[in-house]
Each structure stands twice: as C-alpha cells, then as structure tokens.
Amino acid sequence: MSGIKVRFAPSPTGHLHIGGARTALFNWLYARNMGGKFVLRIEDTDTSRSTDEYIGSIMQGMRWLGLDWDEGPLRQTERFDIYSGYIDRLLKENKAYHCYCSPEELEERRQEAMKAGTPVRYDRRCRERTGPVEGVVPSVRFKMPLSGNVEVADMIKGTVTFDNGQVDDLIIQRSDGTPTYNFVVVVDDVEMGITHIIRGDDHLNNTPKQLHIYEAFGYKVPVFAHLPMILGPDKARLSKRHGATSVTAYRDEGYLADALINYLVRLGWSYGDQEIFSRQELVKLFSFASVGKSASIFNPDKLLWLNAEYIKSTPADKLSELVMPFLVKNGTIKAGDTPDKELMLKAIPQLVERSRTLIDLAAQLRYFISDEYETDEKAARKFLRPEKKKQLVFLNEKLRSTSYSHDEAEQAFKSTTDEFGIKLKDLAQPVRISLTGGTASPGIFDLIEILGPRSSDRIDRTINEIEDPE
Ligand code: GLU
C-alpha cells in the first residue's frame, strides 16, 4: 500500500449526478492505480439542504458503479468538536479574529460597493478590533495575507497563480457556531491524511483560500487535480435540463454500470483512440498525464452506443441476472419469481444485437418468457390478412410433426411457401407477429427452435383470430 490517500467529498444536497460520479471515479482510479486509499466523506455542514436520503442515494449510486471506498462514510456534522478546536487554535495564534458585523450591515456595505463599482469584499474593519461588542455573538474570520501571490500546483492545470489581494477574510465559523466549507475541508483533509485532492474545477477558486489555511497551521499542502467541467451538448454546464443526470436514473433506464464507468472515464481521460476499456485496464492505465485540460461535452448518444456495446459483450448468464428487475418492471414476471434460466440463456444471445438497454432486452424477452405480450395492431392488420389463414394452418401442421429444430422449421416453411407459391417473407412476417407481437425479432427459425411447441400454440391462437376469407 502506497502512502497515497484521496477522497470523494460530496455534499448530500442531491443525488449522485454525472459530474460527481466522474469525480468519484477519478479518485477511485487514482487510488487503485497507485495502491492508495479512497475515503468517502459526506460534507453535510449545510444542514438546511443535506438529507439522509441523499446520503443513502449517493452511496447506492457509488455501490452500483462499483466504486468501493476504504474509509468512511465520515460525516462532517459528527466532527464539529474537532473543527472548534482548530478554530480556537487560530484565534489563539492571532491568525483569525472575531467579527461583530451583522449580516444586515454586511449586506448594506455590499450594496454600496456594488453601486460604487468597488470590489465587493469584507472591509476587514473587525480585523484590528481589540475588544468585543456587547450583546453581539461574533463570527470568526480568517486573516488572509494582504499582499503577494499564492500558487496552486495542479496535476491537470499546471501552476495557477492567485493574487492574495483578491482573497477575502473568509468567515470560518458563523455566529451560530457552525464552521464553513473552506475551513472544514482543510481540517478534514489534514486530519484524514489526504495526499491528493481530486475535484471539479468549480472549486479552483476556493483553493487559494484553502492554501492559506494550510499555511497558517503549518501543514503540508496536498497535490491538487482540478477536473475540467462537463458541459451539455449546448455547451452550458451539465444540468437536469439536459436529461437524466443522476446515476441511479441511468441504472433505472437500463444502463450497465460498466458502460457508464467507461463513458465517464472518457469525459476527461483518454488513451490513444481506444474507446472501450475493462475496469482492470482502467485501473492499470489511468494517470493524470492523460487527463485533458478542456471541458468535456456530455453526449447521450455515445453513452447509449457504449451501453449497446457492453450489452453485446456481457455474458448471457450475467445479463440474465441484470435484466431481472426490468422483467419485473415490465410485468413479465412477479418480483421474486425466476424465469426458466435455460430459456433465458438461449434467448438472450439472439437479442443482444438489438438491445441498447436492459429495458430493450426485457421488452424482447417478454415474448420468450410469457404468452401475454402486446401485439402491434397496425402490423397485425397489415400482415394477418384472411388469405394467410390457410397458409398458417398448413405450416402449423408441418411444424407439429417436427421437433422444432431450426432446420426442421426451415423445411416446414419451405414446404408451405412451395405449396402456396409465396415468398419466405410473406410467411415469415405473419408468423413473426404471431410469435412475438411485432415485426422485428431474431431469425424466425431460431425463434421457433427456442419457443418449441409454444410456437404452434401461438400460431393456432393467431389462426383463430384471423378473419375467414370471404
Ligand atoms: N463538498 C464539495 C462538493 O460537493 C466538494 C469539496 C471538495 O472536493 O473539496 O462540491
């Protein structure tokens, strides 16, 4: 085990979304690649927006994606005593001070600064104050340096320089006693021994503030990697407007976790032109040297393509397990029931080429597993004409004398098309509708071989439904 330790630190104010999952993945990959540790930390200090339900759903999303953590989940709300100790220390060392300005006063000054066009920053009037203000509970502010620069060494962006003059004297503890984000992040990263901070570059502007806090404590600064944003196809920051962004919504839409992982890793990381990677390959190949500097565009079509590729390459046995909840959802089976495994293992290989999601796969498995399936009425009207009746009766008689093997079924069709002087497709389409309810399905002879005698029952059912010729 190396000394590398990374963390994923979601705020539980929403479900695990695509951006968060990508951050978690890059942390996980780095830890696994380097033989380091991966910590899950829940940043729930914003108690008005954080919920236990979101914590549960974030962990569920990570588990589904196979992003296992070595420590945690640690919750910041359980660590307030620790933060208080650190705040006291800064106050004692004169590196922080009490601020007695009320939120109303601060807002008033902010408005004035905006009107005057001067920078909207705290004017530091309490920084040199010597005594308390009677009857006012103060907040605590951190003393930022007043001049000079600070440099962020970033594995993706290189060195980024910030002017200290632009950094506000940050509130590290609100007057209600709760500590603030930029402060607790540093305390936690130090306490947990985090060596590399991998997060979205929306946090880049927080980094100089955090660096000054490290410095005030005299702690070693970790290495940073700020991941470029993920944008929607319209180049705006990815959001709900662009469709499902929560990881569990993709799960429910029939995406495979491995496909989503493969898609997420390519939002920022590349390895030549290679598109498809096994998880072992990713762990082996991942490095920040191949993480790009520019934002990535989220492309739902590519994700769907990748999912279809994964469905094609996943063993039928595994697919038969993964598809189960979707068979329950589409009403093919009841929760807890298991369909005939042998039938599933025969049917699935016939369907993978035409299934882009597990929902597609479940929809087609329905007519293999159950005799209750929807019929496409329009196709039925078009293909199940009265003159077909005789042909289907003839075919079914032939079929019943076979063992329903692919080749015997082909023979039975041939006899029928010869007898009536029709083409194969003139017979295949009505039979297809009879056996599956629709006009798109695997090869008709394969279908008959898998369904066996049930094929004849279904053809009989169709014969009864077709009107007699005039
Ligand atoms: N809690 C922050 C967020 O969810 C992440 C902070 C960090 O990674 O430093 O955006």
Instruction: Answer whether residue 42 is part of any domain.
Output: no
Instruction: Answer whether residue 112 is part of any domain.
Output: yes
Spatial distance between the Cα atoms of 69 and 462, rounded to a whole number of angstroms: 55
Indicate the residue among 227, 246, 277 that finishes a domain.
227
Domain co-membership, 208 together with 321: no
Task: Report the separation in Å between the CA atom of 286 and the middle of ligand 1, taken as the mean of its atom positions.
Answer: 22
CATH number, domain with residue 454: 1.10.10.350
Element (H, E) at 79: none
Sign, Cα dihedral of 59, 62, 64, 66: negative
Instruction: Answer whether residue 151 is part of any domain.
Output: yes
Residue 279 is predicted with a pLDDT of 97
Residue 119 is predicted with a pLDDT of 83
Task: Report the separation in Å between the CA atom of 199 and the middle of ligand 1, taken as the mean of its atom positions.
Answer: 7
Task: Report the separation in Å between the CA atom of 70 and the middle of ligand 1, taken as the mean of its atom positions.
Answer: 19
Instruction: Answer whether residue 155 is part of any domain.
Output: yes
Domain co-membership, 342 together with 384: no
Domain co-membership, 421 together with 341: no
Cα distances (angstroms) measured from residue 130 to each of 94, 123, 127: 12, 16, 9
Domain co-membership, 89 together with 217: yes
**Residues 6+ away with beta carbon under 8 Å from 182:** 170, 172, 206, 209, 210, 213
Indicate the residue among 193, 227, 261 that finishes a domain.
227
Domain co-membership, 133 together with 222: yes
Domain co-membership, 92 together with 222: yes
Domain count, the chain: 3
Residue 47 is predicted with a pLDDT of 86
Domain co-membership, 193 together with 109: yes
Q: Which residue, judged by its Cα, is nearest atom 7 of ligand 1?
A: 9
Instruction: Answer whether residue 395 is part of any domain.
Output: yes
Q: Which of 42, 195, 203, 230 for mutating ligand 1's site (highest number of atoms within 8 Å of CB)?
A: 203
Is the pTM value of this prediction over 0.85?
Answer: yes
Domain co-membership, 199 together with 337: no
Instruction: Answer whether residue 233 is part of any domain.
Output: no
| Model confidence pLDDT, tens digit, residues 179-214 | 999 999 999 999 999 999 999 999 999 999 999 999
Spatial distance between the Cα atoms of 70 and 8, rounded to a whole number of angstroms: 11
Q: Which residue, judged by its Cα, is nearest atom 6 of ligand 1?
A: 9
Residue 424 is predicted with a pLDDT of 97
Dihedral, CA of residue 184, residue 185, residue 187 and residue 192, to nearest 10: 130
Domain co-membership, 387 together with 358: no
Helices (H), 272-357: 279-285, 300-313, 316-322, 324-329, 341-351
Question: Which is catalytic among the residues 157, 209, 235, 240?
Answer: 240
Query: Taking Cα atoms as reference points, which of 160, 119, 167, 163 lies closest to residue 143?
Result: 167
Instruction: Answer whether residue 31 is part of any domain.
Output: no
Residue 263 DSSP code: H
CATH number, domain with residue 198: 3.40.50.620
398 part of the active site: no
Domain co-membership, 91 together with 214: yes
Domain co-membership, 354 together with 417: no
Q: Which of 28, 44, 191, 199 for mutating ligand 1's site (highest number of atoms within 8 Å of CB)?
A: 199
Domain co-membership, 88 together with 185: yes
Residue 1 is predicted with a pLDDT of 62
Spatial distance between the Cα atoms of 66 and 55, rounded to a whole number of angstroms: 17
**Spans in the chain with pLDDT lower than 50:** none
Instruction: Answer whether residue 326 is part of any domain.
Output: yes
Task: Report the separation in Å between the CA atom of 134 and the middle of ligand 1, taken as the mean of its atom positions.
Answer: 37
Question: Which atom of ligand 1 is found nearest the CA of 199?
Answer: 8
Residue 363 domain boundaries: 315-368
**Residues 6+ away with beta carbon under 8 Å from 374:** 437
